[in-house]
Amino acid sequence: MRYFIYLLLALMVAVGAAFFLQQGLEEHDPGYVLIGVGKWVLETSLYVMGLIIAVGFIAFYLVVRLFARVIRLPKHLKQKKIEVGSSRSQEALVAGLIDSAEGNWEQAEKSLIRHAANSGAPLMHYLTAAKAAQSRGAYEKRDEYLRLAYESTPGSELAVGLTEAELHLSHSQFEKALDSLRYLESLAPSHAAVLRLLHKTYEKMEDWEAIRNLIPSLHKNKVLMEAELKLLETETYSSLLKQYAEQKDPEALKSIWQTVPEHIKAMAGVHAVYFAAMIEAGAGAEIEQALRDELKKEWNETLVVLYGCIESNDPKAQLSPAEKWLRQHPHDAILLRMLGKLSRRCQLNDKAEQYLTASLELEPSVDGYLFLGDLLAEQGDMERSNANYRKGLLLASEEVVKQIDGVTMEQEEAAVE
């Protein structure tokens, strides 16, 4: 339509020019044009020849334009086909994403794969299809789509690898996820998403040694916030200490403790974890002095209990400083219970009975009744011993009932909300 308008305007201009030329030449000699070719001779007026030239030029131009369009027609049709295919692939991608969100995994998969080849972003089609395939349990299809995603887009190793690792991780295939992530780490050792997934995978595997080695990279590349990083460090070192305690490996425990950062050691409860681990590993005597020093810095009931759990090489030397603490904490039921335990270990039965009785008067406890019952049983006083055992059992059952009632109340409150 546009070219037709241009042609019409050109003809009007040519006719107008011829008309005015004719008007001008009628007053003078109009002149003529003579063309001879062989035996043929063409004679006409000047303005007619001008009109013929104008029309001929326009006709020539139109022929050239038509010829050019015919030549470009295959390319134009191909481009049009690509545009249509791209439009359909975009619609298929949107439909696939909607189906995935709605849980229609199989339909999503079909929509995404059908037009993936014509898409300008085939990577998105294949990766989304891989997630849909895994969601419906088609793991072979998932792996095929991941391979197609990699082949469809050069330089997509990170995108495909991260998706693959996430899918393996969500399916609890930790070793496969780790293989993918280690390869990605070799390609991009400081990539935040790779490091974050490595941390998550090691955490699922409870590989605390690997997390400890990963922490410097997490810190350097600011993968976690400062508070999250400190929490992770605390959890990692605490778990490592417990792990080596279960293995009864005091040397490994001491080695790990030397590597714990000072800001982690300064956190509440961390020393208690180390001391408890050493005691469990059978090396409580090695941390006896360190535990006493820590109690001098800050009174802590957990550390008091742990002090009583140490199997000292010299029980009387262990008891002596503990009795001095009683001057500053005369009404501490936990301290009194610990003193009763140590006195019994030193075979100071009368003193042990006094400490345990005083502790129970201040604060009845299951452990206190048990310790006193055992002490009285050793002395042959079975009546009083059994009475303490009964009190301990009654107190224990009351605590269990309270815990059950607490859980029940929480469940009822949650149901109401």
pLDDT at 85 over 50: no
pLDDT at 36 over 80: no
pLDDT at 16 over 70: no
Helical ranges in 43-172 per DSSP H: 46-102, 105-114, 122-135, 139-152, 157-170
Residue 82: pLDDT band with limits 50, 70, 90: very low
| Residue extents of the structural domains in the chain | 245-313, 317-417
- Range with the poorest average pLDDT among 54-68, 161-175, 378-392: 54-68
pTM: 0.63
Q: What is residue 77's predicted lDDT score, i.e. its pLDDT?
A: 54
| Structure tokens, 29 | 């000699």
User: Virtual CA dihedral for 181, 184, 189, 195, nearest 10 degrees?
Assistant: -30
Neighbours of 43 (CB within 10 A): 10
Residue 329: pLDDT band with limits 50, 70, 90: very high
User: Virtual CA dihedral for 398, 400, 403, 407, nearest 10 degrees?
Assistant: -120
| Structure tokens, 48 | 């007619």
Q: What is residue 403's predicted lDDT score, i.e. its pLDDT?
A: 73
Contact by Cβ (8 Å): 165, 153: no
CATH fourth-level superfamily of 317-417: Tetratricopeptide repeat domain (1.25.40.10)
Is 62 or 362 the better-scoring residue by pLDDT? 362
Q: What is residue 96's predicted lDDT score, i.e. its pLDDT?
A: 57
Q: Mean pLDDT, to the nearest integer, of 47-62?
A: 70
Q: Mean pLDDT, to the nearest integer, of 336-360?
A: 93
Is 343 or 247 the better-scoring residue by pLDDT? 343
User: Can you say whether the dihedral through the CA atoms of 220, 226, 231, 237 is positive or negative?
Assistant: positive
The residue among 320, 268, 257 whose CA lies nearest residue 294 is 268
